[in-house]
């Protein structure tokens, strides 16, 4: 059992909170984990990614070998495509469709979506809209975690346990909002499968 995940986004979008949640669930299950992050200059609005490796065996490399990525989980559509060269032929691309536009030459949305649809296994979701509709606009990342959850090798219960543990200190209301966001994301992804 192994899952190699690339979390993608733009510096400041908070992909590391998703990584922390998945990581916590994996550790609790007794899996091994390595998670390489990007710190430094790129965090100022540049493209950022995290290599998250989960396995029931000891993990050797901190970096995922090319062509072995099982899941690209992106909180930004163009950024999801940046890591397609790393994706396994059987891998999943799961992305938020809400663009983060901080460059003058951001491509046409239609072209991005068309390119994503070329990847055989993909899930597209406007997580920002979903989160807003639920009255918790800051839960968009957890909506995306929910959307990826059927493919992570972890059960919904295990992931919800990690969400609860991570958000606990912010109060029960925040926990409930995030659990609801997670379930909604999962439901919408399953409907696309």
Partner 1 sequence: MQKLMLLGDEAIAQAGIDAGMSGIYAYPGTPSTEITEYVMHSKEARAKGVHAAWGANEKTAMEAALGMSYAGKRSMVCMKHVGLNVAADAFVNAAITGANGGLVVVVADDPSMHSSQNEQDSRFFGKFAMIPILEPANQQEAYDMVFEGFEISERHNIPVMLRITTRLAHSRSGVQPKPAKEQNAIRIPSDPRQFILLPANARRNYKKLLQNQVVFEELSDNSTFNFYKPGPDHSMGIIACGISYNYLLENYPDRKVPYPIVKVGQYPAPHNLIDQLYQECEKILILEEGYPILEESLRGFLYTGKTIHGRLDGTLPRDGELNPALVAKSLGMAVPAEVPMPSVVVPRPPSLCKGCPHIYSYNALNEALSVYAKGRVFSDIGCYTLGALDPFTAINTCVDMGASITMAKGAADAGFVPAVAVIGDSTFTHSGMTGLLDAINDKSPITVIILDNATTAMTGGQDSSGTGKIEDICQALGVDPDHIHILNPLQKHHEENMRIMKQEIEYQGVSVIIPRRECIQTLAKKKKDEKKQAEAGALN
User: Which residues lie near partner 1 (CB under 8 A)?
Assistant: 10-11, 23, 27, 32-47, 51, 58-67, 78-79, 81-82, 84-85, 87, 102-107, 111-112, 115, 118
Closest CA to 123 of 142, 97, 100: 97
Residue number, 83 or 182, with CB nearest to partner 1:
83
Q: Give the Å distances, CA to CA, from 172 to 41, 163, 167.
A: 35, 11, 8
Instruction: Decide whether 58 or 157 has the Cβ nearer to partner 1.
Output: 58
**Tokens read off for 54:** 């989960």
Closest separation in Å from C-beta 87 to partner 1? 8
Tokens of 66: 């090319």
CB of 102 to partner 1, least distance (A): 6
CB of 191 to partner 1, least distance (A): 26
Nearer to partner 1, 83 or 151 (CB): 83
User: Sign of the CA dihedral 173, 178, 184, 190?
Assistant: negative
CB of 153 to partner 1, least distance (A): 17
- Are the beta carbons of 3 and 25 closer than 8 angstroms? no
């Amino acid at each position: 059992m192994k899952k190699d995940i690339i979390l993608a986004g733009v510096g400041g979008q908070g992909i590391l909170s998703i990584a922390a949640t998945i990581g916590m669930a994996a550790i609790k299950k007794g899996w091994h984990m390595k998670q390489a992050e990007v710190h430094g200059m790129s965090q100022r609005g540049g493209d950022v990614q995290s290599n998250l490796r989960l396995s029931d065996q000891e993990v050797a490399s901190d970096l995922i070998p090319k062509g072995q990525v099982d899941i690209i989980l992106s909180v930004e559509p163009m950024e999801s495509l940046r890591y397609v060269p790393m994706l396994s032929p059987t891998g999943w691309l799961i992305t938020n469709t809400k663009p983060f536009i901080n460059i003058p030459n951001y491509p046409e949305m239609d072209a991005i979506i068309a390119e994503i649809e070329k990847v055989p296994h993909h899930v597209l979701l406007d997580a920002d809209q979903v989160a807003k509709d639920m009255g918790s606009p800051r839960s968009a990342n957890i909506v995306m975690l929910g959307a990826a959850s059927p493919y992570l090798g972890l059960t919904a219960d295990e992931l919800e346990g990690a969400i609860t543990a991570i958000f606990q200190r912010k109060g029960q209301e925040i926990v409930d909002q995030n659990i609801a966001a997670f379930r909604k994301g999962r439901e919408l992804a399953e409907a696309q499968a």
